[in-house]
Amino acid sequence: MPKNKKRNAPHRGGSGGGGSGAAATATAAATTTGGQHRNVQPFSDEDASIETMSHCSGYSDPSSFAEDGPEVLDEEGTQEDLEYKLKGLIDLTLDKSAKTRQAALEGIKNALASKMLYEFILERRMTLTDSIERCLKKGKSDEQRAAASLAAVLCVQLGPGFESEELLKTLGPILKKIVCDGTASVQARQTCATCFGVCCFIATDDITELYSTLECLESIFTKSCLKEKDTDVSRSAPDTVLHISSLLAWALLLTICPVSEAKKKLELHFHKLPSLLSCDDVNMRIAAGESLALLFELAREMESDFFYEDMESLTQMLRALATDGNKHRAKVDKRKQRSVFRDVLRAVEERDFPTETVKFGPERMYIDSWVKKHTYDTFKEVLGSGMQYHLQSNEFLRNVFELGPPVMLDAAALKTMKIPRFERHLYNSAAFKARTKARSKCRDKRADVGEFF
């Protein structure tokens, strides 16, 4: 190795002299984050910017928290550890690196989805709102998606009230603008449509704002509907995912509409939605079918003798989808479609709903209507694996699903209910082996019977 290369190499027997170790650490941190070598003094008086703090602090890797979430903290740390890390992530939402900002937003969202932190976020509500607003306005697709998702989870944490209303007043117009912006990323518009609907469902106290949001979402998903005389339209466009999210968000808001407005919407869309059942995208067909079932349920709650004129043609379409055997479609899609449309057909023809049971902790919830199912599915999409925790602890969600006040459990009871990850793995492995053995025996019996005949 040339001598001029050896000057910067550390001695094997020690850490180097004086402050060379600190300088090397600062340089490495700057290289990792910014992509260029810079001599950064971590906590100097001259450079105390947020960017320098993000490079040199102990929480400078938000992606690790975004992946692990607060689960590790629950097991090994304390509430103070979680709050300390969240403060660092909030600072990182102002970082110059887009990837760092995105990872910080995702880390905060995962924490809020997995743990109730009402007091903590109440003190930092304005800071979080400003960070989300900045990322929505100036960020690219992935950053906008992360910011919109955080806005929805923040609303779920705050619940209905002044704080969430202020959040919606600030972020609502921006979310609406992105949803309607044809030049924006389809993925960003899709996420913003879902989150806009959820925030409006929770926070809106102005009926005109609710109607405006409904019209905005209608203007998006109705683009997938066939016009009266147009029967040969290809609707497998890339923006189908946006139309699906807009339709589902619209259906969610329809469940909280006043009866008079809901009737107008039903009359307007009962004859439009069936055209979506012939869409090339299986998820659009399923979303349209479930939305139709929800509309029928709402209409029959308003008028017990509700009559739909095109019932025969609609039931024929639903029955065809419930028994679809098209060879050009994937088996998984066909199986999923048939399962959903069997339930939709029963809802339309027999006014029936297959009750589902959701268990969380020592409690269980019965989903016995399409309105309840759609509301549950929407919040599960927003909260992910944290849905069960919020059903136990979040007063707003417990009010939505009529679960009453939260059940108070001591730490010992919670610890006995929580199965360690290693034990879950062993249990799943044993169950898989048992199923494999059972299938093998069944195949052997069938083989023996075939040989006998």
- What pLDDT is stored for residue 71 in this prediction? 44
Token pair, residue 204, equals 């809106």
- What pLDDT is stored for residue 409 in this prediction? 62
Burial letters 127-143, b for 16+ CB under 10 A, else e? ebbebbbebbeebeebb
Contacts of 390 by beta carbon, 8 Å cutoff, 6+ apart: 113, 116, 156, 379, 383, 397
CB 150 within 8 Å of CB 108:
yes
CA angle at 252 for the pair 397 and 149, rounded to the nearest 5°: 65
Q: What share of the chain is helix, strand, coil (3-state, %, to 5)?
A: 70, 0, 30
- What pLDDT is stored for residue 419 in this prediction? 57
- What pLDDT is stored for residue 76 in this prediction? 44
Burial letters 226-240, b for 16+ CB under 10 A, else e? beeeeeeeebeeebb
- What pLDDT is stored for residue 361 in this prediction? 85
Rg (CA), the chain: 27
- What pLDDT is stored for residue 20 in this prediction? 43
- What pLDDT is stored for residue 15 in this prediction? 43
pLDDT along the chain (453 residues), means of 10: 44 43 42 43 38 40 49 56 93 95 96 94 95 96 97 96 95 96 94 97 92 95 65 61 96 95 91 90 94 95 90 93 80 88 94 92 93 97 95 95 82 56 67 72 55 47
pTM of the full structure: 0.76
Angle between helices 370-383 and 141-158 (to 10 degrees): 120
Residue among 277, 275, 281, 195 nearest 239 (CA): 281
Across-strand partners of 363? 360
What is the rounded CA–CA span in Å between residue 385 and residue 362? 17
For the segment 68-99, what is each residue's pLDDT rounded down to a tens digit? 444 444 444 578 889 999 999 999 999 999 99
Residue among 173, 236, 171, 164 nearest 204 (CA): 164
Residue among 409, 407, 384 nearest 395 (CA): 407
Token pair, residue 220, equals 């998006």
- What pLDDT is stored for residue 423 in this prediction? 61
- What pLDDT is stored for residue 429 in this prediction? 75
Across-strand partners of 367? 356
What is the rounded CA–CA span in Å between residue 182 and residue 187? 12
| Half-sphere exposure (Cβ direction) of 63: Cα atoms closer than 13 Å | 5
Angle between helices 370-383 and 186-203 (to 10 degrees): 120
